[in-house]
Copies of this chain bind each other. A is one copy, B any other.
């Protein structure tokens, strides 16, 4: 268990009426609502100003909201409404550009802002709560993968971390590739149609997670919760591969598996469900990357011998 997991266990033990599990979404079952809250903090999750790797207020607004939508999509719910708490020593320009970013994402995904607040503070912090409708949908669970299930993955993996490296001045490919990877970092692509197709059509329980903390981390979490393993074909993982000057491939193996912040969807569905609508998922951008096995996480038949993790948390 890492530090975050220890703390979450302590919280669950302290509260006597709680369904707090550190899950990405909370559920108000009687209201058919999934809720996700995420907080992004300056110098922890993003940098501002002219620093290397800094993000603009507009891009921050976009990304903060996309990250939250991603959690709701991973639950199988339909994102509908949100509230925003913004704090920091802010000026009018910052606020306007941040909310322009929010607004552009709201338009794209059909969301409505229903409230929020502004407070002071030394570092900028953004906390978004997003509400998704679960009516008529089967919600996902990390614990519902089963041996023999088909594993699908949507989203370019390793691209966000590569974009961050470029933004930070540690990598320079060429203008077009730089732009592509930076954009993957700043404005992750989401897959609402894939989420919807699964949540509306799955006849059997399924597992789905976003890969915000890295693809391997998502595999590990599902395997721990479901008590299963994975056999994954690395070559099938959707990614953009670029040959770099010294003939290395970018992103490399580790970056694809551990890079994080790709906000793709990792999906484990039954063979029957895959037969019924797997083709549709593939046409929407998912790739079949392997199967759920009894134990161990194998990538191209081998276990990863290091436990690298992308850690948001200290």
Partner-binding segment picked from A16-24, A180-188, A260-268? A16-24
Is A87 close to B, CB under 8 A?
A: yes
A14 near B100 with CB under 8 A, answer yes
Question: Which of B7, B92, B102, B119 is close to A44, meaning CB atoms less than 8 Å apart?
Answer: B119
Is A106 close to B, CB under 8 A?
A: yes
Question: Which of B8, B11, B96 is close to A10, meaning CB atoms less than 8 Å apart?
Answer: B96
Size class of the contact patch on chain A:
35 or more
Question: Taking CB as reference atom, which chain B residue is nearest A121?
Answer: B41
Query: B residues within 8 A CB of A38?
Result: 85, 117
Query: B residues within 8 A CB of A15?
Result: 99, 102-103, 106, 113
Minimum distance in angstroms from A124 CB to a CB of chain B:
11
Interface centre among A90, A114, A115 (most CB of B within 10 A): A115
Question: Which of B113, B115, B119 is close to A17, meaning CB atoms less than 8 Å apart?
Answer: B113
- The proximity string for A residues 67-101 relative to B, scoring 1 for CB distances below 8 Å and 0 otherwise, is 00000000000000101110101101001100110
Question: Taking CB as reference atom, which chain B residue is nearest A25?
Answer: B115
Give the copy number: 2
Chain A residues 13-51 with CB under 8 Å of chain B are 14-23, 25-28, 31-33, 35-39, 41, 43-45
Minimum distance in angstroms from A119 CB to a CB of chain B:
5
Query: B residues within 8 A CB of A95?
Result: 7, 10-11
A41 near B119 with CB under 8 A, answer yes
A28 near B119 with CB under 8 A, answer no
A129 and B83 contact, Cβ closer than 8 Å, known pairs A33-B31, A39-B117, A114-B28: yes
9 CB < 8 A contacts A-B? A20-B113, A21-B115, A25-B115, A27-B114, A35-B129, A39-B85, A39-B117, A45-B119, A120-B312
Please give the residue numbers on chain A whose beta carbons come within 8 Å of chain B beta carbons, in ascending order.
4, 6-8, 10-11, 14-23, 25-28, 31-33, 35-39, 41, 43-45, 81, 83-85, 87, 89-90, 92, 95-96, 99-100, 102-103, 106-107, 111-123, 125, 127, 129, 131, 312-314
Instruction: Identify 15 new A-B residue pairs, CB closer than 8 A, beyond the known A10-B99, A18-B106, A37-B116.
Output: A6-B92, A14-B103, A15-B102, A16-B103, A23-B115, A28-B33, A35-B83, A35-B115, A35-B129, A37-B85, A37-B117, A38-B117, A118-B313, A119-B312, A127-B127
